[in-house]
Chain A
Amino acid sequence: DVVMTQSPLSLPVTLGQPASISCRSSQSLVYSDGNTYLTWFQQRPGQSPRRLIYKVSNRDSGVPDRFSGSGSGTAFTLKISRVEAEDVGVYYCMQGTHWPPTFGQGTKLEIK
């Protein structure tokens, strides 16, 4: 299985400051159709996960534009330009290029 490794696992951030989460895969996530199936999810405390970003950098409808995704091949990043209180939660990257789909361990974002 493809191993997804996130860092850091804990991310204390001051309100209004930027935050960045790294996600690395053990194999390239480029599929034969040329797309890269790397997705980012947010899970707020006590809630179900919510998709933020799909295919590396496509932001979902309703997701604030302070969230952005980037990367290629085996290295990906989720950035939050200015952290707000509602961003507290756990962030997961997930690859869908190779079966089975696999998730990173999660990065817990908290307010410092």
Chain B
Amino acid sequence: EVQLVESGGALVQPGGSLRLSCAASGFSFSSSWMSWVRQAPGKGLEWVANIKPDGSDKYCVDSVKGRFTISRDNTKNSLYLQMNSLRAEDTAVYYCARDPQFAAIDLWGQGTPVTVSS
């Protein structure tokens, strides 16, 4: 079955760190651009970061630059998001997503919730 399964979401204090994981199956992960998209409670969607199939190029939005790092391990069909210096405004459901071309995501995970609060 073609799917993405996220894990790692949790309640964390401001300034803390968290690492999200995404396990891919049923498709050629090593050939796919992958992304993280987030959705704050009751709000819309926000692109966070994406990464080239071989991991050589990575991009992230300004609001998380210097704090979040996207990475992947093609031997494990896994995508990661290392989140440091977390802020209350990072509270959201984080979705792992496959991006076939120019952000036109065609596969979404179920999401993992991250809450930043003291």
Contacts and interface: CB of A to CB of B under 8 A. Distances in A.
B110 interface: yes
A39 B110 contact: no
Interface of A: 31, 35, 37, 39, 41, 48-51, 54-55, 60, 92, 94-97, 99-106
Interface of B: 44-47, 59, 61-62, 95, 101-106, 108-111
A104 B110 contact: no
B59 A51 contact: no
Q: Is the interface of B mostly helix, strand, loop or mixed?
A: loop
B104 A103 contact: no
A48 B106 contact: no
Contact of A92 (B44, B61, B62, B106): B44
A107 B8 CA distance: 30
B109 A103 contact: no
A99 B111 CA distance: 23
Contacts of A35: 102
Contact of A103 (B44, B101, B102, B111): B44
A105 B110 contact: no
B111 A31 contact: no
B61 A100 contact: yes
